[in-house]
Amino acid sequence: MANDRSWFTCKKNDDETAEVSIYDEIGAWGVTAKDFQKDLKALGAVKNIRLSINSPGGSVFDGLAIHNMLKRHKAKVHVVVDGIAASIASVIMMAGDRRTMPANAMVMIHDPSGFVVGTSKDMRELADALDKIKMGLVTAYAERTKKDPEEIEELMAAETWLTAQEAVAEGFADEIEKPVKVAASFDLTKFRNAPAVVADQASHGQEAERHTEHEEEPMTDKSTATEQSAEEKAAAAAAAAAAAAAETANLDAIRAQAAAEERKRGADILAVCTGFGMAAKAAEFVASGKSLSDVIAALQDERAKSGKDVSNRQGAGVTDKDQAPSWDKVIDKVNARIG
């Protein structure tokens, strides 16, 4: 089934093969686990899936869900990294039975990150949650690379970028093919160790492609054509480049805003679930697409069914409500932030 977004497609070629491409961020703005599941299911019983990736990563929960869907699928999965498989996109890559990289492609792995607004207890709980999430990522990498988990942890902590040759040598890929042109552009400035040449190519690749696509064919009718001076040609090229740069910058800004909002939503949901003593449900709620207010209502219902006090953060074990912050006040503050 083809998706109407060019950066995420999922189509069936015949009864045995299908092609899937992820050419954007993982999560709300790009490819969500919910959309991926729907389109993957629509493919039916295929024997082979070719998954093309060019992604800077994104939501860890969406990425893990996509990885697990591919691992469970009965088809043989061939993953091809057309440009970059960074962050959680590199975990999706690990779901491939066969992993191919063009000679100019790259893979990046790093520690998961997040943020929370709250007390020191909230922040310690977030740190604990991130450690648990990291262990899940380490498991995915170690299973495919055959490396010791301790070595994987060190590579993640260092934010490691691997060329195709290095990825094959380290077990993150299986084979190298001829270089291809990177088609999508991403803002890689959020990563601390992104190679300068890679960041520059990713940031300007789409601008150059657009400029090439919109070049006019030279006029062949000598009777009506007029010669452009070198200055006029330079001015026209500069104007086209400026327009393309402005369009790319606007799109990148929209994507960055959407990604920031999705990260904030995930952090808020984790904080609320932690406060209710149900941190383990955060991933489920994030993947479901529920709003923060809907998550709070669902958590209140669940606590009510369990017979626990929903009016305070400490739960049924607290009898002196003057000693515990009221959840009503917390919810009011949260609603004020999202209203």
What is the SS3 string spanning the chain? CCCCECCEEEEECCCCEEEEEECCCECCCCECHHHHHHHHHHCCCCCEEEEEEEECCECHHHHHHHHHHHHHCCCEEEEEEEEEEECHHHHHHCCCCEEEEECCCEEEECCCCCCCCCCHHHHHHHHHHHHHHHHHHHHHHHHHHCCCHHHHHHHHHCCEEEEHHHHHHHCCCCEEECCCCCCCCCCCCCCCCCCHHHHHHHHHHHHHHHHHHCCCCCCCCCCCCCCCCHHHHHHHHHHHHHHHHHHHHHHHHHHHHHHHHHHHHHHHHHHHHHHCCCHHHHHHHHHHCCCHHHHHHHHHHHHHHHCCCCCECCCCCCCCHHHCCEHHHHHHHHHHHHC
Q: For this structure, is 6 an active site residue?
A: no
What pLDDT, on the 0 to 100 scale, is given for residue 294?
85
Domain layout of the chain by residue ranges? 8-213, 253-338
Is the pTM for the entire model greater than 0.85? no
Is pLDDT above 90 for 233?
A: no
Is pLDDT above 90 for 72?
A: yes
What pLDDT, on the 0 to 100 scale, is given for residue 110?
94
Q: For this structure, is 110 an active site residue?
A: yes
Is pLDDT above 90 for 78?
A: yes
Catalytic one of 110, 113, 288, 311: 110
What pLDDT, on the 0 to 100 scale, is given for residue 68?
94
Catalytic one of 87, 291, 306, 326: 87
Question: Residue 159 — very low, low, confident or very high, per pLDDT cuts 50/70/90?
Answer: very high
Is pLDDT above 60 for 91?
A: yes
What pLDDT, on the 0 to 100 scale, is given for residue 270?
83
Question: Residue 241 — very low, low, confident or very high, per pLDDT cuts 50/70/90?
Answer: low
Which CATH number is 8-213's, of 3.30.360.10, 3.90.226.10, 3.30.70.1520, 3.40.50.300? 3.90.226.10
The more confident residue out of 178 and 94 is 94
